[in-house]
Amino acid sequence: MSNRRRGRSAGVLLGLVVLAAGYGLLLRALPTLTGARIVDGMVGVMLGLYVCSHPAANAIDVLFYSRGPLGRISWSALGWVALNGLVLLVGWLAIVAGATHLVG
């Protein structure tokens, strides 16, 4: 197994935002996506957890690697932190939407 770190990728994070936001919008527009509210809820919770895992991994990189974006405070680093916060928020909203469908 390789010990190489993943590079920062704003494109991946933006893609995850689009994916989770699209899931939320589809749930709002359609009564069910798969035909079963329980399956819709499970998909939403798993999608939200996956989306939230990327900002969590980036936070661990910042804490344990000196080359993290907060090692050098700049506008770019602040933008990176803001993007990770946005992805975390959208992922959390997908978890909430999925859990609501799961128990509703």
Per the domain annotation, does 11 fall within a domain? no
Distance of alpha carbon 40 from the chain centroid? 18
Domain assignment of residue 91, given as a range? 32-103
Q: How confident is the model at residue 6 (pLDDT cuts 50, 70, 90)?
A: low
Per the domain annotation, does 74 fall within a domain? yes
Per the domain annotation, does 41 fall within a domain? yes
Distance of alpha carbon 67 from alpha carbon 47, whole angstroms: 29
Mean pLDDT computed over 3-9: 60
The count of domains in the chain is 1
Q: Which of 56, 52, 58 is nearest to 80 (CA)?
A: 58
**Which pTM was predicted?**
0.82
Per the domain annotation, does 63 fall within a domain? yes
Residue 71 has pLDDT above 60, yes or no: no
Distance of alpha carbon 11 from the chain centroid? 12
Per the domain annotation, does 66 fall within a domain? yes
Residue 85 has pLDDT above 70, yes or no: yes
